[in-house]
Amino acid sequence: MSETPSLPPRHQYEAFLQRLPADWEQKEITQVGAVVGGGTPSRAVPSFWRGSIPWVTPGEVSGEAAKLLHDTNDHISASGLAGSGANLLPAGSLLVTTRATLGARVINAVPMATNQGFKSIVFKKSEEASYYYHLFEKVKPELVRRASGTTFLEISGAEFGFIKVPSPSPEEKLKIAELLDTLDTAIHQTEFIVEKLKQVKQGLLHDLLTRGVDANGELRPSHEEAPDLYQESPLGWIPKDWDFGNLEAWLAGKPKNGYSPQEARERTGIQMLGLGCLTTEGFSPVQLKAAPFNDKRLQSAMLSTGDLLISRANTRELVGLVGVYKDVGTPCTYPDLMMRLKPCPDTSANFLQLVLQTTKTRRQIQAHAVGTSESMVKISGKTVSTLLVALPKNTEQSQILERMAACDVRLKAESDKAKVLREIKAGLMDDLLTGRVRATNLIVAGGAAGTQVDADLLLSQLCKDLYEAEELAVSEYRRELFGDKFIPELVLMREGKIRVEIRKENVSHNTPHLHIKHSDKIDASISLLDFSTLAGQIDSKTLKFFLKKLKPLKANLLAIWNELNEKENSMGAEELISNLSL
């Protein structure tokens, strides 16, 4: 007797359920927990509000990346809870948005209530909340399919409760949640570092473009510390040997608008930049369009690597964004809503980009932008040419660019790491939640078969190539910025968060020295001739610790200094460092 053929899945979520392992149960949501709705106390009764019970709305969850919610914008009182459809949810419930925004979710870390835009699950086994938190990424399409409504989509409590969800063994649920939580922690930590580095970069940019660097490549003392090193200008106090004036003094000609023909319907081998290619971070080829065939006017807008571009139209917040163009793989032009600036020999596109990104310059641009609507204001070439700026001489510009580029290298490395971690999580999440990879079968590399994996160790295994890829990406980025023979600094050793490095100083008469640095706490220049402190501050205990390791390697360190600073051969210096026993 032949078997009855299985029916094809009717929709995406049914296909997901059909592919699950045979030993996984499938239960309706009401079988894993109670479905609880929410409500809003009357705003007309003041005593219902400003109580001690956290009360959450979908807007607080829809953009929330964290799994746990500890507090809310609004709080209601016990009488507000009793006088409305709101319910007090025990900690460890899963709060799911089911009105307008569908499928955003969070676990409440403390007892709280929700408005009517949620259906929440109070689990029979509270330890399973984390598993279902991750699983609801797969449930989202089913929420959308079942929702109804003319003004906005909404899913009823009954319909929500009927949805079937996978239910592996308790042990496998916990292991899946543990693995995905570990990856989430790593992602959030890396994203936090990225945000901190962005703040550090902005602070460094401000210091470098208001104080500059001295002959040793160190930040010049502030005006308060050394007023004799500064002069007064319309921009405030600036270093004495800096020049100030209108931007046109550093431009070779007037800003020139681009050209915007009708976009071609198919690829033609020539591309055009969209306005979105100029971001707050600089140039990014995120909006490219196909240029038409045989339009001779495109030639005047053809770009070369290193061209400096500025947007001349956008919202007031975004008008005047700048970027240095990099090759996109095909001939490319810039549009009419951008201008090309040509720096004179006394500066460079990269340095002018930094100047035009500063808060002071951005304020000038925004103040002079005009338009009938804030959603589209414009600046003219004259506005750009007459911007008031202050610039150091070429040598100091190069030193400032080196310091900023070193900051960019670290920022890019951490950003790339976060991106790779997100990709790893997306792939592993799909494998674990569909059962293609069984969490209970994962073993420790090199361990006995069947040994249960530690989540942190698995993360280490999954990311084993991440740091090698990161180092390669950093190396390639540095080569792109500085060429094969020049890297701004080379790390000799690290001890916790403190690093020892030798830098390319770009000043031939400098005493050979190295730097010991830890954020803003330690930043000292140490002579390689007698190991005295040349500049900066470092506590005696830390200095003694590092000198004990460094003094026996004096000849090697001097050789590295000469390779980097005299021969300008960073590859050779890197090879010498690799042979050090540090």
User: Does the pLDDT at position 549 exceed 60?
Assistant: yes
Show the DSSP H helices in 165-295 as ranges.
170-208
Tell me what the mean pLDDT of segment 357-361 comes to: 94
Pairing of strands 68-69, 101-108: parallel
- Exposed/middle/buried for 181, CB within 10 Å: 0-12, 13-18, 19+? middle
What is the predicted pLDDT for the residue at 291? 95
- pLDDT, residue 28, reads 97
Average pLDDT over residues 129-147: 95
The residue-averaged pLDDT of 334-353 equals 96
pLDDT of residue 451: 41
Predicted pLDDT at 538: 87
Q: Which CATH class is domain 169-240+392-482?
A: mainly alpha
| Among 244, 233, 206, residue whose Cα is nearest residue 362 | 206
Cα distance between residue 350 and residue 335, in whole Å: 21
Sign of CA dihedral 470, 476, 481, 486: positive
* Mean per-residue pLDDT, 570-582: 77
Determine the pLDDT at residue 510.
Answer: 66
Domain with CATH 1.10.287.1120 in the chain: 169-240+392-482
Q: State the chain's mean pLDDT as an integer.
A: 88
CATH of domain 243-391: 3.90.220.20
3-state secondary structure of 455: helix
Residue 579: band (very low, low, confident or very high) from pLDDT cuts 50, 70, 90: confident
Residues of the chain with CATH 3.90.220.20: 12-167, 243-391
In this prediction, residues 409-423 reach a mean pLDDT of 88
CA–CA separation, 149 vs 153, rounded Å?
5
Phi-psi region of 288 (alpha: psi -120 to 50; beta: other; left: phi over 0): beta
422 CB-near residues (< 8 Å, 6+ apart): 187
- Residue range 213-242, pLDDT digits in tens: 988 878 999 999 999 999 999 999 999 999
Q: Which fold has domain 12-167?
A: Adenine-n6-DNA-methyltransferase TaqI; Chain A, domain 2 (3.90.220)
- Whether residue 486 is predicted with pLDDT greater than 50 in this model: the reply is no
Higher pLDDT, 129 or 541: 129
Confidence of residue 19 (pLDDT cuts 50, 70, 90): very high
Q: Span 358-372, mean pLDDT?
A: 95
pLDDT tens-digit profile of 188-212?
Answer: 999 999 999 999 888 999 999 999 9
Give pLDDT tens digits for 155-185.
999 999 999 999 999 999 999 999 999 899 9
> 3-class SS at 533?
strand
